[in-house]
Amino acid sequence: MRLKNFTNLSQQESREVFLWRNSEEISCFMKTKNISWEEHIAFLEKLKEEVTKQYFLVFDGEVAVGVVDFVDIQRGDSCEFGIYQNPNLKILLKGEISGIAALKDEKDFFILGHPEYSKNTLELEYKRDLEKGLKIKKPLNYFDKKGNPILSWRSSASVMFSNWLNFSVYQDTPFVLENQDSGFS
């Protein structure tokens, strides 16, 4: 997870937060049900000088998954916090240990982790990070007892790719054959 302060959001990220905030699923919990774009931008600008509030866009990898805010911050003593999820995200695949592996919103499909990795890719990255002196954990269920990588995810990755191809490409691609000049009579 990665947090990005609202004071540093790109135009696209600001727009996304604005749309989430005004969605029925989120706005029903707000004091002011809907705000204008101008009010939203003014709020973001005010946060740059605010010391009792901090708002963050939450990312899981490259996917914006929600917002967390801290308000009524009292000089390290206490604060209140709120959180809301991107109302458009649908979790498609989640494991108890691995966490979220696949998400879909109204236009995109997100695959987290790296199911496309070959057998040795994670081992090479792990060794590289160890050589850098990073304190990282050994990949779980990746090495056998002799320390060799096990390629245990290939069939799952193939199924995930096939499902993505079917549901996100074939089923969402409009094919209207009667409007096409096929050359057949």
Bigger pLDDT: 97 or 128?
A: 128
pLDDT of 167 over the 80 cut: no
CB 172 within 8 A of CB 164: no
Does the pLDDT of residue 132 top 80, yes or no? Answer: yes
| More confident position, 31 or 13 | 13
Sheet of 78-85: strand order equals 2-5, 53-60, 63-74, 78-85
Percentage of the chain modeled with pLDDT above 90: 37
Question: Given this model, what pLDDT does residue 55 score?
Answer: 92
Predicted local distance difference test score (pLDDT) of residue 183: 58
Tokens 């801290």 correspond to 70
Joined tokens for residue 107:
């236009």
The CA-atom distances, in angstroms, between 175 and each of 135, 161, 170, 172, 181 are: 51, 21, 9, 9, 13
- Tell me the pTM: 0.57
Domains of the chain: 2-85 (3.40.630.30), 90-170 (no CATH)
What phi and psi values does residue 181 have, to the nearest 5 degrees?
A: -85, 100
pLDDT tens per residue across span 16-48: 999 999 998 888 888 888 999 999 999 999 999
Q: Are 6 and 47 in contact (CB under 8 A)?
A: yes
pLDDT digits (tens, 9 = 90+) for 62-105: 888 889 988 887 766 677 778 878 888 888 888 888 777 888 87
Compute the half-sphere exposure of residue 109: CA atoms within 13 Å on the CB side of its CA: 12
For the chain, helix (H) and strand (E) counts, in that order, are: 5, 7
The beta strand positions in the chain, using DSSP E, are 2-5, 53-60, 63-74, 78-85, 90-95, 99-104, 109-111
Pick the residue with more confidence: 127 or 90? Answer: 127
Six-digit token string for 115: 């199911």
